[in-house]
Structure 1
Amino acid sequence: MGVDRFQAMTTFVRVVDTGSFSAAARQLNVGQPAVSKTIAQLENRLQVSLLIRSTHGLTPTEAGQRFYERARVAIQEADEAELSARGAGAGLSGCLRVSAATTFARLHVIPHLPRFLDQHPGLEIDVILDDRVIDLVAEGIDVTLRMGSLPDSSAVARKLMGGRRSVFATPAYLARAGEPRTPGELAEHETIIYSQLSNVWAFTRDGTEASVAVRGRVRVSAAEGLRAAVLADMGLTIGSDWMFVPELASGEVKRLLADWSLPPIDLWAVFPTGRMVSAKARAFAAFVEEVMAPGHSGAA
């Protein structure tokens, strides 16, 4: 007996999205031979070749591209139809794949997941922690949380919050090095530099602009390292206010130059281009927006 038609469509769409049988098999939690067999049966039933196999991977034929576009929409509409039939009160189900920067997820997403999962007992969440910008389609991601400007202007995105940035240091470091009172004084301090940002910091206050080139013996490539270096009293840094929420509350970290402003880094929910945004992804983005809203325990 041949494979279920809907299952075959789902497998084919996943193969095209990932570009390989092996990657699709990993995402579907099946063996690669099962994926290959499903595609072969699908091509046999349709009496047409759907994929071109080459050293560069798998790409759809012209017929395969037409089938992919219709199948993808059919799968998404079936998911939405099931959700509608169950009613909003029944909650979401299936697996939601989310990606987010490691530190942000550890501080502001994962601690709140129990409440989101309680609201949707049929839902599973696969959280991919990565500070890099990853390929959402190739990785099978439903929604990613990104900071800053969006490199792809065609991306389907929703702004979740405006991200204020500040200068931070520990009282122990300030007791040793003194507290800067103006942006210019930052040049005399030991700075923990985030390698993904410039070491020239631009401040504004009441229409006045001030830029300072900071120096530092330590550079880090991820926010987790930035936090760890500051908490080890190694120097001061700039970061989004969400980065030190617990330590600001406890007094372990102090916000400096509070009357000066730095360019903000906004938080976005980004969805795979070319796909209908799923109800699961929309609900998760709304949940994170609620968590990060001013006054909520998850926000600064």
Structure 2
Amino acid sequence: MNRLAAMEAFIRVVDAGSFSGAARQLCVGQPAVSKTIAQLEDRLGVRLLLRSTHRLTPTDAGRTFYQRAKRAIEEADEAEHAARGAAATLSGRLRVCGAVTFARLHVIPRLSLFLAEHPALDVDVVLDDRQIDMIEAGVDLALRMGRLDDSTLTARRIGQCRRCVIGTPAYFKAAGVPQAPVDLAAHQAVIHDQPGAGAAWTFRRGSVERSVTLRGRLRANAAEGVREGVLGGLGLAIASEWMFAPELASGAVVPVMQDWSLPPLDLWAVFPSGRQASAKARAFADFVEAQLSGGATR
């Protein structure tokens, strides 16, 4: 049994959740994948997968083996990449994670460019507004926004975006256009109920600071909910220009109080702790950074 091939088969099974899904990725028959995993379990003397009617789930031993096997495969790929040098091409599978709205608006529409540059590379995109455990989820790179509270993370900032007060023209026509932070007390707000967002904000204009607490009947824990609330005329929002990029471009929403500034929103490329970032992950982070600097609002 080829150990690296068996490790890769196991990784594909866990990621796909089934033998058939892994078989399609590996371009082999399902019986061959099942046999490989059975041989691997026999060799290790432990059960790696729990089999149910609908899905395969790794055991505790399986999760531990998955993490180390994935690292071994990545290091083998890195060794080959380094040996080939300038002639190397990125290949295999890259698993990235990002917030739903940001990835939908700014990553997935541009993926065709990245895949065209790297025809031997496949990309799995995990859409999740939570900060998931990267190692447990088998993620090579996470795109995270805001402040990083975990100092153990390996990360670099790859983008920054302005925040502003945003609403639809119809809302401002009905409720009036706020001119200063104090005016926001008279408005309904759609509040993004997430760390780094929320109802409390500090505005700055020159040397002057003004703190406000928004009030609103609608709170949403995901950006998609904030977007729908604002576009539905339920109130204004304090949000990044990334969140409403298409609507800002079309005029469906407008920014107000632009002489007052808010803390900008940072975008970070985060890599699993305790390991060197793979060439594939670094290339993807570079790609997103270049795309944002060339086409998105800074």
TM-score w.r.t. structure 2 length? 0.82
Alignment-derived partner of residue 39 in structure 1: 40
Does residue 281 of the first structure (1) align with residue 281 of the second (2)?
yes
Does residue 58 of the first structure (1) align with residue 60 of the second (2)?
yes
What is the CA-CA distance between 1:173 and the residue it aligns to? 0.7
Write the distance in 2 (CA, Å) between the matches of 1:33 and 1:101. Answer: 34
Alignment-derived partner of residue 244 in structure 2: 244
Provide structure 2 residue ranges, at least 5 long, that are not aligned to the other structure.
24-29, 50-57
Alignment-derived partner of residue 126 in structure 1: 124
**Code of the aligned partner of 2:241:** D
Larger mean CA deviation between 251-260 and 34-43 belongs to: 34-43
1:11–1:24 CA contact under 8 A, matched in 2: no
Over the matched positions of the two proteins, sequence identity in percent amounts to 48
Write the distance in 1 (CA, Å) between the matches of 2:167 and 2:159. Answer: 24
Distance 1:36 1:73, change over 3 A: closer
2:9–2:22 CA contact under 8 A, matched in 1: no
**Code of the aligned partner of 1:240:** S
Larger mean CA deviation between 21-30 and 280-289 belongs to: 21-30
Write the distance in 2 (CA, Å) between the matches of 1:271 and 1:81. Answer: 19
Write the distance in 1 (CA, Å) between the matches of 2:61 and 2:102. Answer: 35
TM-score w.r.t. structure 1 length? 0.82
Write the distance in 2 (CA, Å) between the matches of 1:78 and 1:135. Answer: 23
Alignment-derived partner of residue 95 in structure 1: 93
Alignment-derived partner of residue 226 in structure 2: 226
Alignment-derived partner of residue 27 in structure 2: none
Provide structure 1 residue ranges, at least 5 long, that are not aligned to the other structure.
16-20, 44-48
SS for the counterpart of 2:75 is helix
2:9–2:37 CA contact under 8 A, matched in 1: no
Alignment-derived partner of residue 270 in structure 2: 270
1:184–1:212 CA contact under 8 A, matched in 2: yes
Deviations 1:81-139 (A, max 9, x none): 32234444553111111111111011110111111111001111111111111111111
Q: Number of aligned pairs?
A: 279
What is the CA-CA distance between 1:226 and the residue it aligns to? 1.1
Mapping 1:172-187, distance limit 5 Å? 172-187=170-185
1:165–1:263 CA contact under 8 A, matched in 2: yes
What is the CA-CA distance between 1:147 and the residue it aligns to? 0.6
Alignment-derived partner of residue 53 in structure 2: none
Distance 1:144 1:34, change over 3 A: farther
2:6–2:37 CA contact under 8 A, matched in 1: no
Counterpart of 1:29 (choices 22, 33, 45) is 22
